[in-house]
Amino acid sequence: MRTSFLAALGLLTTATASAQLQEGDFLVGSFATSRLNHYLPDGTPVIQVQGVSDLLWQGAAVTPEGNWATSFRTPASGVLIFDPSGTEIRRFTTPQVGQPGDVNVFPDGTLAVVDVSEGEIEYYTQLGVYVGTISTPAGINAPFGATIDTDETIWVCNRNGSLVWHLERDGTQLPPVATSPFPADVDISYDETLWTVHADSGRIEQHTQGGALLGSFPTALSGNAAGIAVAPDGSVWVGSWTEGNLYHYSADGVVLGAFPIALGSTFMTIHKRRLGVRYCSPATPNSTGTPSRLTARGSSRVQDNDVELTAEDLPPGEFGYFLVSTVQGNFQPPGSSGAICIANPIGRYNQIANIIQGPVGSITIDLDALPTSPPTQVAAGDTWHFQCWHRDPGTSNFTDALSITFH
């Protein structure tokens, strides 16, 4: 173990190693002790950053660059940003925020800070520049936990009610999801279902984004539940700000483990390596009756050259290939049941090695040579759009599309 006192920063950093978060690793904030903790999926601590003053840390989020962000309440509301070694790289106050709750990060790096006392969500750049506010719907008197979906919409819990509200980035209201009372925090799994933990009971619920209840189960939390995070394997972690343990459950409620953490865990995030902003979604249903979906996993950092595309819910046995362009579009080609949502110039992953077959197919792409004519090397700041074309009995179709901005 190594311990270094960073006197100039007012922080104590304890670590077994310094590392970028890997898929399945998670960050947990600690409200009572002002800590931010990086754990491996099995609960092994990697790095702990602790404020030596009583800042009352809240959120836990990962930026596109791999840095960490947390919100704090005292002596004035603000945001702290750390690099993956736990070194503070930025601290700024957020005077527009009355009492910060959760903090989340959009794919472009913009921070979204939930304002519990004002019923708002404030937006900031990572340099601390205030860029706007959206109001939560009338009736939310305690917005608390939140998460950002792949289409850049925001789900936010009303901790004193029975709804998880759904908002466009500009604040436009979308249909909410009704839950049991007092949802404290929310996360979205890889299958894009909604998971909530409830403040009074510690109970976990799973809903479709259309509001259908898929399941629920009790946890060992006695109350004051504050954070939930869904792992890539579908298992669920939960914590409470009045207990000293984190609990791990399977998706159907079987206890997988528990381990101690500093008293007062709050929000948490699990690194899922999910990339892109979804658009043209849902796609036109294919012959199975289900829309095909495109997902991307990996890193948005160009230097990592680590992006995997996956097309899901394709008609079984039907072939397809991925498409890429710098231009969005929306056009239904003759002979197709769906719309192509990119436009010329279009690159095609139609080489034999890249042809996929339903119901699920994946390829790893090379950022040094996207298949345009001539091949293109991705640069930091570029935004590329991806989609998958596939055969469908008697016709053809497309998945929805993703935009990925690289850093």
- State residue 8's pLDDT score: 30
**DSSP three-state, residue 75:** coil
Closest listed residue to residue 361, CA positions, set 389, 380, 330, 340: 389
- State residue 49's pLDDT score: 84
- State residue 262's pLDDT score: 62
pLDDT over 90 (residue 272):
no
- State residue 52's pLDDT score: 54
- Asked if residue 75 has a cis previous peptide bond (ω within 30° of 0), the answer is yes
Q: How many CA atoms lie within 13 A of 279 on its CB side?
A: 15
pLDDT over 90 (residue 13):
no
pLDDT over 70 (residue 71):
yes
CATH 2.60.40.10 fits 275-405, yes or no: yes
- pLDDT tens sequence across 91-116: 999 999 999 989 999 988 999 999 99
Amino acid identity for residue 392 in this structure = D
Q: What is the pTM of this model?
A: 0.79
- State residue 236's pLDDT score: 93
Closest listed residue to residue 22, CA positions, set 4, 1, 3, 44: 44
Average pLDDT over residues 385-404: 95
- pLDDT tens sequence across 191-212: 889 999 999 888 999 999 999 9
Closest listed residue to residue 105, CA positions, set 129, 125, 133: 125
Domain layout of the chain by residue ranges: 2-272, 275-405
- pLDDT tens sequence across 142-154: 788 999 988 889 9
What residues contact residue 397 under an 8 Å CB cut-off, 6+ apart?
A: 283, 284, 286, 292, 336, 337, 338, 389, 390, 391
Strands 111-115 and 100-105: antiparallel
d(C-alpha 381, C-alpha 326), whole Å: 12
- pLDDT tens sequence across 300-318: 889 889 999 999 999 999 9
CATH 1.10.760.10 fits 2-272, yes or no: no
Residue 268 is encoded by which pair of tokens? 């948490």
pLDDT over 90 (residue 138):
no
Q: One fold for both 2-272 and 275-405?
A: no
pLDDT over 60 (residue 54):
no
Band of the pLDDT at 275, cuts 50, 70, 90? Answer: confident
Across all residues in the chain, what is the average pLDDT?
87
- State residue 14's pLDDT score: 45
Summary count for the chain: helices (H), strands (E): 0, 39
Residues in the chain: 407
Q: Report the percentage of the chain scoring pLDDT > 70.
A: 92
pLDDT over 60 (residue 160):
yes
What residues contact residue 363 under an 8 Å CB cut-off, 6+ apart?
A: 308, 309, 322, 349, 354, 356
d(C-alpha 389, C-alpha 379), whole Å: 25
- State residue 264's pLDDT score: 64
Least confident range of 101-115, 271-285, 351-365, 392-406: 271-285
Q: Residue 80 region, left (φ>0) first, then alpha (ψ -120 to 50), else beta?
A: beta
- State residue 407's pLDDT score: 82
